[in-house]
Amino acid sequence: QVQVVESGGGLVQTGGSLRLSCIASGLTFANYPMGWFRQAPGNEREGVACINWNGVPLYYSASVKGRFSISRDNARKTLYLQMNNLKHEDTSVYYCAAIVSCGASWQSSPKLTPWGQGTQVTVSS
Convert the pLDDT of each residue in 48-74 to its tens digit. 999 999 989 889 999 999 999 999 999
pLDDT cut 90: percent of the chain above it: 88
* pLDDT surpasses 90 at 104: no
Tell me what pLDDT residue 83 has: 98
Tell me what pLDDT residue 57 has: 87
Tens digits of residue pLDDT in 85-98: 999 999 999 999 99
Average model confidence (pLDDT) across the chain: 95
Residue 125 pLDDT class (50, 70, 90 cuts) = confident
C-beta separation of 68 from 48 below 8 A: yes
Residue type, 8: G
Tens digits of residue pLDDT in 22-37: 999 999 999 999 999 9
What is the pLDDT averaged over residues 102-118? 91
* pLDDT surpasses 90 at 84: yes
